[in-house]
Amino acid sequence: MRTVPLQTGADVRLRNEQSGPTVLLVNGGTAKAVAGTWSATSELLADELAPRFPQLAFAELRYRLKSWHALDSCMDDARAALDLLDRPSLLVGFSMGGAVSIGVAGHEGATAVLGLAPWIPDRLALEGLRGKRLDVLHGGWDRWLPGVPGVSPESSRSGFERARRLGVEGSYRLIPRGLHGAAVRRRSGALVRLPRAGAWVDGVGERLERFCVESQ
């Protein structure tokens, strides 16, 4: 595993670097503009799926600033990551990372988007998805609560249907009893698997199997 700085000041962490097509894991955010961190959910997915798919490279994106009030900055970081990778890439966007991934889907390196509990606000332009694919996985018990991050399934479903009306192909699937993502991080840095984490890993794995076929 190797961490590479981007021209924007963000970083990507690479696994299976010498492989061909890439899975670019795009992090969520917060209301307050704070320094970027590595996503617990993205890290768990990379830990478990990179050994399972040695033919795919995995890249985790750490923004300069992670905030939905700095969405343009986060998108610039994602575009810089795609420029660095310079190969066909499946964008896997968690929470706010879903909006970031959709926002940069028009990049020539982006082949499709997989949103994990994606935030897809009404103001977000979806035209970059034309001719590409949007798949969504969402935890059935995911909710926004005061002080607790979350995105309701109804919200992501609304964004998904808006994309479908533009002619974008895709699928939408709920994970029964799933929460907001697959993992959280202790203060020590250790990952804590959330309930139904295995269902998140398996759901993403199924999409990666299709990505392998599409990339041949």
Q: What are the tens digits of pLDDT across the range 52-62?
A: 999 999 999 99
Tokens 């994602």 locate to: 78
CATH class of the domain comprising 25-214: alpha beta
Contact partners, residue 21, CB within 8 Å, separation at least 6: 55, 56, 57, 87, 88, 89, 90, 111, 211, 212, 215
SS3 72: helix
Amino acid at 93: G
| Cβ proximity of 114 and 135 under 8 Å | yes
Domain layout of the chain by residue ranges: 25-214
Sign of the C-alpha dihedral, residues 25, 135, 138, 120? Answer: positive
Summarize pLDDT for 141-153 with one digit per residue, the tens: 998 776 667 999 9
> What percent of the chain is predicted at pLDDT more than 70?
99
> For 158-186, what is the mean pLDDT?
96
Tokens 């690479």 locate to: 14
C-alpha 215/C-alpha 171 separation (Å) is 19
Summarize pLDDT for 75-119 with one digit per residue, the tens: 999 999 999 999 999 999 999 999 999 999 999 999 999 999 999
Is the overall model pTM greater than 0.85, yes or no? yes
Instruction: Please report the pLDDT score of residue 36 as a whole number.
Output: 87
pLDDT above 90 for 134 = yes
For 122, counting Cβ atoms within 10 Å of its Cβ (0-12 exposed, 13-18 middle, 19+ buried), the class is exposed
Residue, of 175 and 1, whose pLDDT is higher: 175
